[in-house]
Amino acid sequence: MLKQYFTDLAAYNSWADQKVMDWLSQITVEQWEQVNVSSFCSIKQTAVHIASAEKIWVDFWTKSADPVYLSATFTGTKNELTDIWKAASNDLEAYIKSHPEEDLMRSVSFIYPNGNTGQMPYYQTFAHVVNHSTYHRGQLVTLLRQAGYHQFSSVDLATYFVNKNVIDA
């Protein structure tokens, strides 16, 4: 059951990420870069942070030889970031689908942005990634509202499950 739950969460994360990316495709460069008070100073920086986190955790899970925090190096466009974010979101979903349930307790080694290292069971890192993205997507809603964007739809987990159950019925 745990793997099915994580598979559902990964699908939810991809669905919610795509909704947010659709919103971002509708804003101007000025709105994208508008300075606001939040954990990160703009819609752009918040989106870079989410995409970077999703990508780096997939890199840690797959033991990538050269994991890179995009938030420290990204200088591309909104469309380039969206492409990277969509790939990371899809990779996260594909990884859990192919991940053996018996390996959910396997330890994952990771590197913090400050260079310190850590380890946690895979299932905890997975739960963290989804929770982290949800938290910052909420901040994006606030930042988008401050920038004058108001064409939202719910990206709530309950909304995802209700819609999925209607479609699957």
Integer angstrom CA distances of residue 169 from 19, 34, 163? 22, 43, 10
| Residues tagged in the binding site annotation for a divalent metal cation | 49, 132, 136
3-state secondary structure the chain: CHHHHHHHHHHHHHHHHHHHHHHHCCCCHHHHHCCCCCCCCCHHHHHHHHHHHHHHHHHHHCCCCCCCCHHHHCCCCHHHHHHHHHHHHHHHHHHHHHCCHHHCCCEEEEECCCCCEEEEEHHHHHHHHHHHHHHHHHHHHHHHHHCCCCCCCCCCHHHHHHHHHHHHC
| Residues tagged in the binding site annotation | 49, 132, 136
